[in-house]
Amino acid sequence: MDQIVQNNPLLEETLRIRKASLAVIDLRTMKYLRTFGDPLAVTGWSGDDFQKGGVSFFMSKLPSKDYAGVEKMSALLNQYVPGADIASFKAFFDFRMVRPEGTSRRILHESSALKRDADGNILFLLGLISDISHLKRGDTQHLRLTDGKENLIYKVDSETGEYMRLELLSERELEIAKLVGQKISSHGIAQKLFLSTHTVNTHRQNMLRKMDMSDMMELISFLSTYQII
């Protein structure tokens, strides 16, 4: 990874512009081998803090009432990995992290497998984190698991760990969601897709029901953040 950074000097600057940080995690020792970007800006804690303290340091900075949710998402992830195509595996999940001054921020963690052993077990994980506090609020967490062939999306209660698997959106619904994200009205979408406005509005309501969300702004923010659209 050091060589990658040396050969690509824009990496650190790109991460800073995106207000994101990248880390390499050794799953055998549960240590952060290296961090890139500015984790201090994202989480309030420095790269040295994470490298010295490992994953246990990360866990210690979660609000206590979020433990159940994080543990449930970890369990769902561990159940998924053995049957997944690890080469294309990605996991997205969010959590709150307490900063040194006592405030908390909502963080999105995107993971992919960096190296595997001969049996297919993940040895090193690449993790990208970003602050999504301005996009997602409330006491629920989400987990998206994908290997390029399937998508699993879960909604998790942070305090109880209770979860529900969400119904996936259809191709037509995703198409409409992308257009909504471009701020095109239902009437405009109907004209573009040769549908009735009533049909478009029905799809919009079905999307909210499937994702268990209250309004389209929340839905589009979620779908974009989790790279579903």
Cα angle 45, 35, 4; round to 5: 160
Q: Give the mean pLDDT of the chain.
A: 91
pLDDT in tens, the chain (229 residues): 555 445 556 677 778 777 899 999 999 999 999 998 889 999 999 999 999 999 999 999 999 999 999 999 999 999 998 888 888 999 999 999 999 999 999 999 999 998 888 887 889 999 999 999 988 767 899 999 999 888 999 999 999 999 999 999 999 999 999 999 999 999 999 999 999 999 999 999 999 999 999 999 999 999 999 999 9
Domain ranges, ordered by start, for the chain: 2-165, 171-225
pLDDT digits (tens, 9 = 90+) for 28-85: 999 999 998 889 999 999 999 999 999 999 999 999 999 999 999 999 999 998 888 8
Token duo for residue 74: 């970890």
Entry pTM: 0.90
Q: Which CATH number describes the domain made up of 2-165?
A: 3.30.450.20
Fold of 171-225: Arc Repressor Mutant, subunit A (1.10.10)
Number of residues that make up the chain: 229
Domains 2-165 and 171-225 share a fold: no
Distance CA 161, CA 67 (A): 8
Name every residue whose Cβ is closer than 8 Å to that of residue 21 and which is 6 or more positions away in sequence. 15, 35, 36, 37, 38, 39, 41, 42, 43, 47, 128, 129, 130
Phi, psi of 29 (to 5 degrees): -110, -10
Of residues 122, 142, 124, 123, the one with CA closest to residue 132: 142
Residue 9: per-residue pLDDT: 60
Q: What is the DSSP string of 62-94?
A: S-GGGHHHHHHHHHHHHHHGGGS-GGG-EEEEE
Report CA 162 to chain centroid distance, whole Å: 19
